[in-house]
Structure 1
Amino acid sequence: MRARPTTTGAPRPTGVRSRWCRVRVERPHEPVAAQPAVEPRWRRSASGWIGDVGQMMAGVARYDLPLETGQQVSVQFGEKLDESGELVCANEHIYTPRFQTDVLIGAGRRLHWQPEFSYKGFQYLSVTGLGRRPAAGEVVAVPLVQQVRGAVEFECDVPMFSQLVEVMGRTVLNNLHHIPTDTPIYEKNGWTGDVLVSMDTMSGLFDLRRLFTKWLDDVAATQLPSGQLAVIAPSPGWGYEHGECAPAPEWSCPFPGLLLHLADVYGDLGPARRHWQSCRRYLDWELTQITDAVDESGGSTGAGGNFGTGATGGGLASSELGDYLSPGYIDGPPPEDSRLSASCFLHRGLLQGAELAARLDAEPGAEEGRRGSLEAWLDAAESLRGQINEVFLDRERGCYRTASDPHGQYRQTSNLMPLALGIVPEEMRGPVVESLVADVRRRDHHLNTGHIGTSLLLNVLTDAGFGADAFRVATQRSCPSWGSWLDLGATTMWERWNAGARSRDHFFLGTVVDWILTRVAGVRRIAPGWAVVRVQPGLVDGVSRCRTTRPTSRGVLTVDWDLHLGRLSVDVPEAMVCQLELGGPTVVAEAGESVWQIGDR
């Protein structure tokens, strides 16, 4: 959870008041369904009995217990145990005496019950008041899982990567409950920023066309008459004002990004048509929020840039959140000036909006009137790009920095965003990449990123030709790293890098999996709707064999390569152009199965 709710401020969206009536409405997305029950492994604890279901899950318990009249049994659920082996069942932000708790009161007969209006996130159950060890079948865990289809099969000769794909898949499924949630244990909110950085990873693992399409309706429902969107969707009227994690363009900008994502991954422009006006009003509202605010932390102008002082007179977006939960900043926002992240993501959102406008205008019978928005957004994006570079780019040092960087410390995310989002001037791209690689190596191949930078780091390194460095970061075992989580027994991704992570079932730091499914596998979609894909084995030093199968909107694509054998086999569906990069000129594999020697010309 990011902040306390408040109830004051601007008018918020309100529900439509009407009489209740019986209306059958077709569910627009896959249902959530109960899976086979899991019998916990029980052991005695100081308070009663602790059950372990073996891995994190989202679901409920089912009870079949003989209880005396008035006998009260309490069952609590949690993700972790304390040092004494007792269940940790508490919300550090909101106190409630019934947090993740079922209370059963006997009536002198056998109780058969399963909750129907709530669910929990847990690996452990604590039973008190029963007076004995639960017998088989008396208290069982029932996973509740959104019935989305898998979108990939992956294996390679680095077992950790296959493990991370499995762990992230479980994390995403545990957080799909009609909306994409941020954790199944706490607030279960649809935080927009979590999806914004994770959508490629999520749809790389599962077919989320229907769920994302439905969730966009939830996002649209949060829109105020001004065009502003909340940072969570659905929203009860919270997430709009200062103190409510707003403004935050790097969070509340899912509209253009997710609309374009649906068009690119699934070839579906329908949501973009339906939500065009809402998307336009949102981006236009963001442009009204660009301010001349100066970084209150101060700072001095150095050679070649103003470094976050705002001395040039503004023209930047602002944010309360930034690169959330970077190492060492467990309260959330990082120390650097968040105008940099806000402006970078608004720049990308404007370009995405312009791309949507162009694609919609290219459709037969398209409506008139999008050209003005397209041109205005392109101009605004270029203005933002110029301002970002003037204020934050240190040309002498070859890096982006802000006046509030702690002790002048290099911040990886501050440089990853301009590199990944096309903001760095061409003549400075080499020096900025070099500064990033130097910092990664100086940290002994540890990342220093929150949710934004984590989603960019490995892809940027690999695309710049430093796949070996990306591999070392990805396989790091000491904190902060994914390997440190695995060594601590993680079965899902965690919310924070440290062992004290608030939630241990949270997907926004698990975006390493996008890198695994694209750069490690060497398979990338480079045209909308999988019309064109590029296959390039061996991008990441340290991986010598990989096989991946991906159902796409054009059929199933299978890629299998082995560098030791110098062999690549592909099975390409009809109507897909498959470009092969095998060490010589690009070649195109025809539809159907074919085998190639890596290094063929």
Structure 2
Amino acid sequence: MIALAGLRVEHRVRPVGVDVTPRFSWILTGGGRGAEQISYRLRVAAGGEEVWDSGTVRRRRTYGIEYAGPPLPAATACDWTVEVETTHGPARAGSRFHTGLFTEADWAGAAWIGRAGPARGAPLLRAEFDPGGPVRAALLFVAAGGYAEVTVNGAPAGPGPLSPGFTDYEERVQYTGVEAGHLLREGPNTITVELGRGFYGTAAANTWDWHTAPWHGEPRVRLLLVADLADGTRRTFASSPSWLLADGPTTYDDPYGGESHDARLAAPREWRPADVLPAPAGRLVGQRQQPIAVTGELRPEEITEPAPGVYVARFPRVIAGRLALRARGPAGTRITVRYGERLTAAGRPNYDDDKGYYDGRFQTDELTLAGTGEERWASRFSWKGFQYAEITGWPGTPGPGDLVAQVLHNDVPVTGHFSCSDPALTRLHELTVATVLNNLHGLPTDTPKYEKNGWTGDGMLGAELFLRNLDCHELLAKWVDDIADTRRGNGAPEVIAPHGGWRMDWSPAPPWHAAYVLIPWWLYRYRGDERVLREHYPGMLDYVRFELARSPGGIADTTLGDWVSPETDPGGGNAPEDRRVAATAYLYLMLATLARAAGALGREEDARALRADADRVRAAFRARFLHEDGVVRGEGDAGFRQTHNVLAVAFGLVEGEEAARAAGAVAADARARGGHLNTGALGTKYLLPVLTDHGHAALAYEIAVNPEFPGWGFWLANGATTLWEHWSAESRSRGHYFLGTIDDWLFTHVAGLRQDGPGELTVRPALTGVLTSARAEVVTPYGPARVDWHRDGGPLTVSVSVPVGARALVRLPAGRLGHECREAAGVEEAAAPPGEIALRVRSGEYTFTLR
């Protein structure tokens, strides 16, 4: 029976704080093969009164349906229903969302408050509020420069730790919205806010100049509580100068340095009126990405004592998070925790700042006990990358229950799945997902231990695997805004986003800047999000024209090339090759991609001009770098460069026989290296797909699992629990995902499931002659799609699940496929190249067996 599920507004389930024109989406389940939506009807009620009825709309699309009614009131519960007619019957369902705050007036005079100058402790703010009667429902909105931890009557009232999200505060300031009616009672209620510095007011100098960012200042908060009473009246309570201020028990906090907490100061005795502070310059926007949360807890596998009074806890894997402590001891006892991803030769964590990035402490927490019995504490305003924690000053000997590692990252559900008959490949997939999650803290960061920055090249390389595996659409859409903000209205984006005015100039860097063009396109391709593409298209077009103009004769250059190829320093560096090859390849890719985006948006004149520009860059690339023997070479290359040739093939700079020759040259080089890659971050993403697509699937698999340096198998052989920043065992970071793009290949080639557009799929397993089984699942705008194939000494069996509304092209190795399959419901035969069978299928479940 056909049914509705997965109802969302703005890609979220029952969101609070929607301050844009809402878009609705749903998925259809059941109904059998060929089921399809014929029409829908949407109704929206605000505050119990219907404000919009779409009428019956004949359309098969089930996502991104934009509200077209009158302006919605602020801070209001909106109920919506969708009724659909399908080829297999009708269905009806409903859900709810709450609007946010649209204008300055909606904030009801709420002031920005905090402490005007630096003092000993993190600011504590407090106020009492009497709603004047029983509360039926309430919404709490909180904006901050920095982080704000809110409690109502002693209970947590925020969406989670480390919120609101980090942005360029000169351009945008996020606010959170939560339902809070269950926390309020009749009579006086107490609201308390503790403020953390975050990247708004970093405590110490650092190499990225966050301490001199144009917004840098003391943390501040703006708060509005909207309470609807049982008698139908509405009361608001806002932050104001009447709130009280005190120094709290957090005596130091910094994103890199960690925190110090003195439990003796938990109940301040001296309170004074809060200071009214200037608002950050940026406009207020609702936090669209999922909040950060404690998503798991790990107990130590071992606690050692490498030196008297020095305890080292080893946890099962590298995480991003914090250590939650449980201790008893005399008042004034100071416990120090230092975090590291690896152990030194002395058996202690590597928590040193060996590159001199930070002024002062690094990855360190301190707890001073109050002496009140059993005390529990975990840091509030920082996170660390670690597998090992060193504890000193402990009163006695810590036990496993005293030290709990809490995993902290954006609470994005894992929606994609992969497994196959080779445990090593399955394990690499698991490590990739874990590493990505460790780097989601309001934006995709490059490492939870060292930098915590949103390097655009890293995020660009990982964005597709993010979208295959995680419900991270809103996080990436938010980050595209961050990238756009770094342009300040013109030119190229910066290489980290947000950007606080870092004085180091990395321009030009087209492969890194490409994030601004490619990620909006992928959000459209994988999630059907036309709004992000449309909103950023003018800026994307302006940037690529700027990049083209500063590329003489169509040849671009870059400061950042194929980063961390195997022969580079384990601390990082460019491959020893002509960086213009990668730069020009990415310039071409951006032009070609933007031409496709222009076409999708109906801008045909732009599309023609962009295709012409792309053709000119392609011709310049071929004239400069493609040699008569079919190999792509640059000036000053250190021998054959796999990445040069891989990018040329992957991006279509060479095609047909030329592509086969270039891929063959890559294969020959890899075999000469003993079945090894020689790529850095840029080439690694495309290496295995290029080899597989050009008849070298067995070699691609050999490279993937080779246990010797360099490669992913080497990491596994050396006990990796997450992915590393470099192929070397001396890699600086053990929490870097940008070499984990093998995961793209696992989905698209090993399992054989590729997303070509919103609801357009290709199923083409490519390693059926190497492995015995593989399975993958991804989420499309129409719902989950799956492929599951196996060949256990017999025929190849491929099972495919296509969601209602989607289409799939199934391409299988040539074999005997019965006429009953070709003539089955929902199946059409399609043209296929020699050696393949091609079938087009509509929604439903299918199993194909080739003998």
**Which of the five TM-score ranges fits, normalised by the shorter chain?**
0.7 to 0.9
Q: CA distance change for structure 1 residues 359 and 138 in 2, over 3 Å: closer, same or farther? A: same
The CA distance in 1 between the partners of 2:534 and 2:619, in whole Å, is 31
Kindly provide the amino acid, as one letter, of the partner of residue 637 in structure 2: D
* 2:329 paired residue among 64, 67, 70: 67
Q: Is the 8 A contact 2:704 2:712 kept in 1?
A: yes
Does 2:624 correspond to 1:430?
no
- Residue 178 of structure 1 deviates from its aligned partner by 0.9
- Residue 208 of structure 1 deviates from its aligned partner by 1.7
Kindly provide the amino acid, as one letter, of the partner of residue 513 in structure 1: D
Q: Is the 8 A contact 2:660 2:694 kept in 1?
A: no
Matches within 5 A, 1:134-173: 134-173=398-437
Q: CA distance change for structure 1 residues 588 and 379 in 2, over 3 Å: closer, same or farther? A: closer
Which residue matches 2:307?
Answer: 46
Task: Name the SS of the counterpart of 1:212 in structure 2.
Answer: helix
Deviations 1:386-412 (A, max 9, x none): 1111111111x3211122112xx1010
Which residue matches 2:743?
Answer: 513
Q: CA distance change for structure 1 residues 90 and 559 in 2, over 3 Å: closer, same or farther? A: same
- Residue 426 of structure 1 deviates from its aligned partner by 4.5
* 1:100 paired residue among 363, 372, 389: 363
- Residue 227 of structure 1 deviates from its aligned partner by 2.5
* 1:274 paired residue among 511, 531, 535: 535
The CA distance in 2 between the partners of 1:108 and 1:15, in whole Å, is 36
Range 206-215 or range 424-433, more displaced: 424-433
Which residue matches 1:308?
Answer: none
Which residue matches 2:509?
Answer: 248
Task: Name the SS of the counterpart of 1:199 in structure 2.
Answer: helix
Task: Name the SS of the counterpart of 2:401 in structure 1.
Answer: coil
Which residue matches 2:627?
Answer: 394
Range 149-158 or range 245-254, more displaced: 149-158
Does 2:479 correspond to 1:218?
no
TM-score, structure 2 length as denominator? 0.62
- Residue 64 of structure 1 deviates from its aligned partner by 2.4
Q: CA distance change for structure 1 residues 38 and 105 in 2, over 3 Å: closer, same or farther? A: same
The CA distance in 2 between the partners of 1:518 and 1:280, in whole Å, is 29
Which residue matches 1:355?
Answer: 596
Q: CA distance change for structure 1 residues 103 and 206 in 2, over 3 Å: closer, same or farther? A: same
Q: Is the 8 A contact 1:67 1:106 kept in 2?
A: yes
- Residue 237 of structure 1 deviates from its aligned partner by 1.7
- Residue 59 of structure 1 deviates from its aligned partner by 0.6
Which residue matches 2:554?
Answer: 315
RMSD: 2.5
Which residue matches 2:649?
Answer: 419
- Residue 92 of structure 1 deviates from its aligned partner by 2.8
Task: Name the SS of the counterpart of 2:758 in structure 1.
Answer: helix
Matches within 5 A, 1:104-503: 104-110=367-373, 111-130=375-394, 132-238=396-502, 243-291=504-552, 314-330=553-569, 331-361=572-602, 370-395=603-628, 397-406=629-638, 409-424=639-654, 426=656, 428-503=658-733
Q: CA distance change for structure 1 residues 185 and 20 in 2, over 3 Å: closer, same or farther? A: closer
Q: Is the 8 A contact 2:458 2:738 kept in 1?
A: yes
- Residue 78 of structure 1 deviates from its aligned partner by 0.6
Task: Name the SS of the counterpart of 1:483 in structure 2.
Answer: helix
Q: CA distance change for structure 1 residues 549 and 434 in 2, over 3 Å: closer, same or farther? A: closer
Q: Is the 8 A contact 1:495 1:501 kept in 2?
A: yes
Q: Is the 8 A contact 2:329 2:395 kept in 1?
A: no
The CA distance in 2 between the partners of 1:511 and 1:81, in whole Å, is 27
The CA distance in 2 between the partners of 1:16 and 1:128, in whole Å, is 33
Q: Is the 8 A contact 1:467 1:540 kept in 2?
A: no
Q: CA distance change for structure 1 residues 161 and 99 in 2, over 3 Å: closer, same or farther? A: same
Range 15-24 or range 86-95, more displaced: 15-24
Q: Where is the strand percentage greater, Structure 1 or Structure 2?
A: 2
Task: Name the SS of the counterpart of 1:84 in structure 2.
Answer: coil
Q: CA distance change for structure 1 residues 576 and 371 in 2, over 3 Å: closer, same or farther? A: closer
Q: Is the 8 A contact 1:180 1:195 kept in 2?
A: yes
The CA distance in 1 between the partners of 2:223 and 2:697, in whole Å, is 58
- Residue 148 of structure 1 deviates from its aligned partner by 1.2
- Residue 186 of structure 1 deviates from its aligned partner by 0.8
Range 160-169 or range 541-550, more displaced: 541-550
Q: Is the 8 A contact 1:538 1:563 kept in 2?
A: no
Deviations 1:4-30 (A, max 9, x none): 5479xxxx9879999974368642011
Percent identity of paired positions between Structure 1 and Structure 2: 35
The CA distance in 1 between the partners of 2:765 and 2:299, in whole Å, is 43
- Residue 550 of structure 1 deviates from its aligned partner by 2.6
Task: Please list every run of 5 or more consecutive structure 2 residues that lacks an aligned counterpart in the other structure.
Answer: 1-205, 226-284, 815-835
Q: CA distance change for structure 1 residues 203 and 282 in 2, over 3 Å: closer, same or farther? A: same
Q: CA distance change for structure 1 residues 21 and 50 in 2, over 3 Å: closer, same or farther? A: closer
Which residue matches 2:338?
Answer: 76
The CA distance in 2 between the partners of 1:186 and 1:436, in whole Å, is 34
Question: Which structure would you say has the larger Rg?
Answer: 2
Q: Is the 8 A contact 1:4 1:244 kept in 2?
A: no
- Residue 485 of structure 1 deviates from its aligned partner by 0.7
Q: Is the 8 A contact 1:121 1:184 kept in 2?
A: yes
- Residue 596 of structure 1 deviates from its aligned partner by 1.6
Kindly provide the amino acid, as one letter, of the partner of residue 678 in structure 2: N
Q: CA distance change for structure 1 residues 541 and 62 in 2, over 3 Å: closer, same or farther? A: same
The CA distance in 1 between the partners of 2:632 and 2:539, in whole Å, is 33
- Residue 598 of structure 1 deviates from its aligned partner by 2.0
Which residue matches 1:303?
Answer: none
Task: Name the SS of the counterpart of 1:580 in structure 2.
Answer: strand
Deviations 1:125-160 (A, max 9, x none): 001122532134333211113211222222211111
- Residue 115 of structure 1 deviates from its aligned partner by 1.1
Deviations 1:422-469 (A, max 9, x none): 112655323222211111111111000000111010000011121111
Range 149-158 or range 434-443, more displaced: 149-158
Q: CA distance change for structure 1 residues 259 and 95 in 2, over 3 Å: closer, same or farther? A: closer
Q: Is the 8 A contact 1:230 1:238 kept in 2?
A: no
- Residue 328 of structure 1 deviates from its aligned partner by 1.3
The CA distance in 2 between the partners of 1:199 and 1:463, in whole Å, is 22
Could you say which structure has the greater relative contact order, defined with CA pairs below 8 angstroms and 6 or more residues apart? Answer: 1
Does 2:810 correspond to 1:580?
yes
Which residue matches 1:35?
Answer: 295
Kindly provide the amino acid, as one letter, of the partner of residue 291 in structure 2: P
Q: CA distance change for structure 1 residues 184 and 5 in 2, over 3 Å: closer, same or farther? A: closer
Q: Is the 8 A contact 1:554 1:576 kept in 2?
A: yes
